[in-house]
Amino acid sequence: MAPATPHTSPIDFERIFHPKRIAIVGVSQEGLGFGAGIFVSLRLIGFEGEIFLVNPKGGDLNGEPIHRSVEEIPRAIDFAIIAVAARAVPEVLEACRLKGAAGAEIFSSGFKELGTAEGIALEEEIVRVAARGIRVIGPNCFGIYCPRSGLTVLPGPDLSRETGPVAFSSQSGGMAVDFANAGKSVGLKFSKVVSFGNGCDLRETELLDYFRDDPETGLVAMYIEGIRDGDAFFESLRRTTARKPVIVNKGGLSAAGRRAVQSHTASMGGSREIWQSILRQANAVQVGDMGEMVQACLAFSLLPRRTYHNITVLGGGGALGVAAADLAESFGVQIPAFEPDLAGRIDELLPKPGSSPGNPVDVANPFVPPKTLKAIMRLAAGDPRIDLQIFTSLLHHYKNMAMLTGRPIKAVTPYLELADDIHEVAAETGKPIVVILSNPKSGPDHLDVVDMFVDARRAFIERGIPVFAELRDALRAIGHLNAYYERKS
Amino acid sequence: MAPATPHTSPIDFERIFHPKRIAIVGVSQEGLGFGAGIFVSLRLIGFEGEIFLVNPKGGDLNGEPIHRSVEEIPRAIDFAIIAVAARAVPEVLEACRLKGAAGAEIFSSGFKELGTAEGIALEEEIVRVAARGIRVIGPNCFGIYCPRSGLTVLPGPDLSRETGPVAFSSQSGGMAVDFANAGKSVGLKFSKVVSFGNGCDLRETELLDYFRDDPETGLVAMYIEGIRDGDAFFESLRRTTARKPVIVNKGGLSAAGRRAVQSHTASMGGSREIWQSILRQANAVQVGDMGEMVQACLAFSLLPRRTYHNITVLGGGGALGVAAADLAESFGVQIPAFEPDLAGRIDELLPKPGSSPGNPVDVANPFVPPKTLKAIMRLAAGDPRIDLQIFTSLLHHYKNMAMLTGRPIKAVTPYLELADDIHEVAAETGKPIVVILSNPKSGPDHLDVVDMFVDARRAFIERGIPVFAELRDALRAIGHLNAYYERKS
């Protein structure tokens, strides 16, 4: 047999990401396997294209007929989703190619990641079929989520249909699904999310090349376990970061992690030092885990693209001033003290005693009305050094107000007014305002507080205001922004 | 005037933490000032002792008569809560002393933290009154929370009345309140929480001395900005860590942070290196922020007191195996591969394909029934090297099950069964099981998932199972446990 070689023909990403007709091969009528699961997910998310189901047993699924073979599908297809047993994959893939599919995602596992001769041979077989003219995502992956077309990962029936700037390429399927979900929760909007698993054909470099030119993609996030071709990848990375930010989470940087990578996606790793140095040289933003990646994407996608070196911190909470100062220093951001005149004017607005008008501004009392906070933020933005403001909310304290007045917490907490005011000040001053929404009251007898926070976050997000759970998260994300735009310029 | 000197008479902590009769001096009938706020909080949390209110204007508050002066209170008091203007504090404190109070917490600010001559002089005046026989918490603090007596911090009407092993001494009032709330949310139970603010009389060392001997206190957490007497503190710290863990969050370790400390509680700081070295010598556990402190307290209070070097990780999620391996190495924990025989027996229980029976065990499918997980955990505990197991849940995926079946998520998610099973396996094998409960679906259209997670966490907590939001948090906390018990032995 000829050795498996990577595909070199042009890639019809348009038909892969926005297919009009797809086949799902390997749907079972019993239970909810991958095939049936993705079919139901596609219907629930509202994929508008035609879907052809295939299983040798025939029959129907939720009233949709099941074809006995790919050959029986009456139309040409753009894209295939394959969820059959590993041994059957090459033949099914070839049939999909003959049906005109530009690409296929293969959920099936049982290939190179097993480390067995059979698994490796089967994966090489897939590569050979792919080289004849059908591009492959996978195997051992959860596929593509594309909000515009309604293609979704497995499982992804409840992901958003809103399109946005974030592209995510992930070697891990679980990470792709979790990232898409977590992103939706905090207001990230996606252009495309791709879980490519073993990545026997399309993987990090091909996707990065595509995202670089994709007008829908404003920034790229990547979860990498190992790369196929270091030179090609770093060349693509350098070219991409020259145009848009690329945020990289490299898993498996420890010795134990490298061994785990080997059994997860059969990729070769690389040492922590090498990766840090190379990513830095390429001006990629390196993050340590998914949480940090979500936060970095939030900052890169919602804040105007520049550096933010001098900030204000306004609000209250446990030792805010001290924590803010410690964190700012860690992440290379300044919280410059206001001039006495400005501090004096802010002081006039603050409740007494216990408040502090310097920068950070400690409002001391959690019930300071939004209009006062608005006036303070307006004044603070007048300091010409200030690039950005951070407001740390204390909304959980309104639970006490609710208890004391006997009214529902949503009725006594002025979060909608606050969201409007913050949006207005940011727009008017041209200096973005970031909100920290941290809820220490999240147990079973604080469900009303939990619900209120979800709605408050929604209110800020809808107004384009970035929300972080912790001041540390926000400052670290801003640090990443600064590092990227400094090196880029 | 004689210089202010610290108090040396014995401290009647019993009457301070469990007062039978207290005075609240400085309640206003209008609005909700500190005095009225703490009164209502004490009633709501169910403080059973007698409360005497004081305000020169008299009148009543919610039907409770207001005395015009401390002198008018008809009985001797054990403890006073003072929330009057700074200038009036010394006189009120003296009146409380004469009424027999063993101690007082002073919420009022406007003292040394202002840096003004007047503020400093007023604080020295307080110290002089205290030296005559009334111990002071504060000023510029939020007071004491003691679940057993029902004394609560400001604001703290909704804190738990359950008593437990965690004592917390905090220089920051906001931190004390947030920590008590966050702790309640994740299942921490407290013996005493003390916000001492400026700490003009009782502060870190006196409290540590008390907590060391307090039979209700099993571990001590501290938020420190600066200390009064380094030698006395470190001697007390060494003596305490020889008996129980002490977890220290030192704020203001950066240059900017040290300046912020100065204006927050007027304490002198100290460099990062000095603190790290001294805390390590004293075998205190140093943490970087409140979240890490909560997590460390969770591990120290819920896990049997020993080291845990070899663990299993079981579950699924984004690149679990790789992340677990990277994190374990960072925190000095091993995830040893199972022997082939054990791996084989576990493999027989796992769904195929995509699962992995080594350690970590990747169950691949989020809908693996609890009884299967139970059987796997039982087998894994049979490995004699294993000290502890970590189960990373994927409960958010049941949202898809709920969507597909049209049933409520709580009805389709077997979290109660899972909690019972985990509790049973841990009890039976004598090897604790820690649960990771991470929810990427937390936006407005996933309120059902958010509610289910709150209830699932409650179910685990009620069974004494430690729950962390992230694998990183759990492994870091276990790393702290290991460091403490290794150095202690």
* pLDDT at position A31: 65
* pLDDT at position B266: 58
- All residues of chain A having their beta carbon less than 8 Å from the beta carbon of residue B335 are 256
Q: How many other β-carbons are positioned within 10 Å of the β-carbon of residue A133?
A: 14
Query: Given an 8 Å threshold on Cβ–Cβ distance, is B400 in contact with A251?
Result: no
Q: In whole angstroms, give the CA distance from residue A303 to residue B380.
A: 47
Rounded to an integer, the average pLDDT of A45-57 is: 96
If pLDDT is split at 50, 70 and 90, which confidence band does A476 have?
A: very high
Query: Given an 8 Å threshold on Cβ–Cβ distance, is B444 in contact with A450?
Result: no
Our measurement of the distance from residue A427's CA atom to the centroid of its chain's CA atoms, rounded to an integer in Å, reads: 26
Poorest-pLDDT segment among A380-384, B307-311, B348-352, B425-429: B348-352
- Chain B residue with CA closest to A360: the answer is B260
Query: Given an 8 Å threshold on Cβ–Cβ distance, is B324 in contact with A260?
Result: yes
Choosing among A326, A331, A405, which should be mutated to test the B contact, i.e. which has the most B CBs within 10 A?
A: A326
Q: In whole angstroms, give the CA distance from residue B225 to residue A318.
A: 12
| Among A400, A349, A125, A353, CA closest to B119 | A353
- All residues of chain A having their beta carbon less than 8 Å from the beta carbon of residue B343 are none
Put simply, whether A375 touches B (Cβ < 8 Å) is no
Rounded to an integer, the average pLDDT of B253-258 is: 79
Q: How confident is the model over A188-234, as pLDDT tens digits?
A: 999 999 999 999 999 999 999 999 999 999 999 999 999 999 999 99
- All residues of chain B having their beta carbon less than 8 Å from the beta carbon of residue A177 are 318
* pLDDT at position A262: 67
Q: State yes or no: pLDDT of B5 exceeds 50.
A: no
Put simply, whether A140 touches B (Cβ < 8 Å) is yes
Q: In whole angstroms, give the CA distance from residue B261 to residue B284.
A: 21
Nearest chain B CA: its distance from A2 CA (Å): 28
Phi, psi for residue B385 in degrees, rounded to 5: -75, -25
Q: Which residues contact A186 (CB under 8 A, 6 or more apart)?
A: A294, A298, A457, A461, A467, B443
If pLDDT is split at 50, 70 and 90, which confidence band does A265 have?
A: low
Rounded to an integer, the average pLDDT of B186-198 is: 97
Query: Given an 8 Å threshold on Cβ–Cβ distance, is A329 in contact with B257?
Result: yes
CATH number of A304-488: 3.40.50.261
Query: Given an 8 Å threshold on Cβ–Cβ distance, is B444 in contact with A455?
Result: yes
| Among B399, B395, B432, CA closest to B415 | B395
Q: In whole angstroms, give the CA distance from residue B110 to residue B119.
A: 6
Exposure on the CB side of residue B72, measured as CA atoms within 13 A: 14
- All residues of chain A having their beta carbon less than 8 Å from the beta carbon of residue B225 are 319, 322
Q: Which residue has 């065990």 as its token pair?
A: B361
Q: What is the ipTM of this complex?
A: 0.92
Rounded to an integer, the average pLDDT of B49-61 is: 95
Query: Given an 8 Å threshold on Cβ–Cβ distance, is B454 in contact with A455?
Result: no
Query: Given an 8 Å threshold on Cβ–Cβ distance, is B109 in contact with A353?
Result: yes
Of B263, B328, B442, the CB nearest to A356: B263
Phi, psi for residue B147 in degrees, rounded to 5: -60, -30
Interface of B with A in 178-197 (CB under 8 A): 178-179, 181-182, 184-186
Query: Given an 8 Å threshold on Cβ–Cβ distance, is A291 in contact with B320?
Result: no
Rounded to an integer, the average pLDDT of B63-77 is: 96
* pLDDT at position A489: 79
A359 touches A338 (CB < 8 A): yes
Interface of B with A in 448-487 (CB under 8 A): 450-451, 454-455, 457-458, 470, 472
* pLDDT at position B1: 38
Query: Given an 8 Å threshold on Cβ–Cβ distance, is B254 in contact with A317?
Result: no
Encoded tokens for B345 = 């027996």
Nearest chain A CA: its distance from B9 CA (Å): 31
User: How is chain A split among helix, strand and coil, in percent rounded to 5?
Assistant: 45, 15, 40
Rounded to an integer, the average pLDDT of B39-47 is: 95
* pLDDT at position B9: 62
| Among A175, A204, A199, A180, CA closest to A191 | A180
- Alpha-carbon distance values, A184 to A194, A224, A298, B15 (Å): 16, 21, 11, 52
Rounded to an integer, the average pLDDT of B182-200 is: 97
Average pLDDT, chain B: 93
Q: In whole angstroms, give the CA distance from residue A118 to residue A485.
A: 48
Q: How confident is the model over B147-185, as pLDDT tens digits?
A: 999 999 988 999 999 999 999 999 999 999 999 999 999
Choosing among A322, A404, A446, which should be mutated to test the B contact, i.e. which has the most B CBs within 10 A?
A: A322
Amino acid at B119: G
Of A110, A172, A444, the CB nearest to B319: A172
State the span(s) of chain A assigned CATH 3.40.50.261. Answer: 141-302, 304-488
| Among A150, A478, A444, A432, CA closest to A295 | A478
Put simply, whether B244 touches A (Cβ < 8 Å) is no
Q: Which tops the pLDDT comparison, A49 or A366?
A: A49
| CATH class of the domain whose range is B1-140 | alpha beta
Q: State yes or no: pLDDT of A336 exceeds 60.
A: yes
H helical segments located in A309-408: 320-330, 340-349, 370-381, 398-405
CA A437-A438-A440 angle, to 5 degrees, is 150
Q: State yes or no: pLDDT of A318 exceeds 70.
A: no
Query: Given an 8 Å threshold on Cβ–Cβ distance, is B321 in contact with A260?
Result: yes
Q: In whole angstroms, give the CA distance from residue B384 to residue A140.
A: 33
Of B251, B454, B472, the CB nearest to A319: B251
Nearest chain B CA: its distance from A479 CA (Å): 17
B151 touches B160 (CB < 8 A): no
B304 touches B432 (CB < 8 A): yes
Amino acid at B276: Q
Fold of the domain built from segment(s) A141-302: Rossmann fold (3.40.50)
Residue A115's Cβ-count burial label (10 Å; 0-12, 13-18, 19+) is exposed
* pLDDT at position B465: 97
- All residues of chain B having their beta carbon less than 8 Å from the beta carbon of residue A329 are 254-257
* pLDDT at position A384: 97
Size of the A and B interface in Cβ pairs below 8 Å: 229
Q: How confident is the model over B269-291, as pLDDT tens digits?
A: 578 888 999 999 999 999 999 99
Q: In whole angstroms, give the CA distance from residue B168 to residue B175.
A: 10
- Alpha-carbon distance values, B127 to A204, B171, B295 (Å): 66, 17, 36
* pLDDT at position B33: 83
Poorest-pLDDT segment among A86-100, A269-283, B73-87: A269-283
Put simply, whether A320 touches B (Cβ < 8 Å) is yes
Rounded to an integer, the average pLDDT of B239-246 is: 98
Average pLDDT, chain A: 93
If pLDDT is split at 50, 70 and 90, which confidence band does B2 have?
A: very low
pTM score of the predicted model: 0.94
* pLDDT at position A3: 39
Number of H-type helices and E-type strands within chain A: 18, 18
Put simply, whether A268 touches B (Cβ < 8 Å) is no
Of B155, B223, B326, the CB nearest to A253: B326
* pLDDT at position B166: 98
- Alpha-carbon distance values, B209 to A189, A238, B90, B226, B230 (Å): 53, 58, 27, 17, 14
SS (H, E, C) chain B: CCCCCCCCCCCCHHHHHCCCEEEEECCCCCCCCHHHHHHHHHHHHCCCCEEEEECCCCCEECCEEEECCHHHCCCCCCEEEECCCHHHHHHHHHHHHHCCCCEEEECCCCCHHHCCHHHHHHHHHHHHHHHCCCEEECCCCCEEEECCCCECCCCCCCCCCCEEEEEEEECCHHHHHHHHHHHHHHCCCEEEEEECCCCCCCCHHHHHHHHHHCCCCCEEEEEECCCCCHHHHHHHHHHHHCCCCEEEEECCCCHHHHHHHHHHHCCCCCCHHHHHHHHHHCCCEEECCHHHHHHHHHHHHHCCCCCCCEEEEEECCCCHHHHHHHHHHHCCCECCCCCHHHHHHHHHHCCCCCCECCCCEECCCCCCCHHHHHHHHHHHHCCCCCCEEEEECCHHHHHHHHHHHCCCHHHHCCHHHHHHHHHHHHHHHCCCEEEECCCCCCCHHHHHHHHHHHHHHHHHHHCCCCEECCHHHHHHHHHHHHHHHHHHC
If pLDDT is split at 50, 70 and 90, which confidence band does B3 have?
A: very low
- Alpha-carbon distance values, A405 to A440, B153, B321 (Å): 21, 19, 50
* pLDDT at position A1: 37
My answer on whether omega of the bond before A155 falls inside 30° of 0, hence cis, is yes
Pairing of strands A388-392, A311-315: parallel
Choosing among B326, B356, B397, which should be mutated to test the A contact, i.e. which has the most A CBs within 10 A?
A: B326
Of B179, B320, B451, the CB nearest to A174: B320
Put simply, whether A44 touches B (Cβ < 8 Å) is yes
State the span(s) of chain B assigned CATH 3.40.50.720. Answer: 1-140
Query: Given an 8 Å threshold on Cβ–Cβ distance, is B264 in contact with A322?
Result: yes
What share of chain A has pLDDT > 90, as a percent? Answer: 83
B155 touches A400 (CB < 8 A): yes
A1-138 CATH choice from 3.40.50.1370, 3.40.50.720, 3.90.1150.10, 3.30.70.1450: 3.40.50.720
Q: State yes or no: pLDDT of B405 exceeds 80.
A: yes
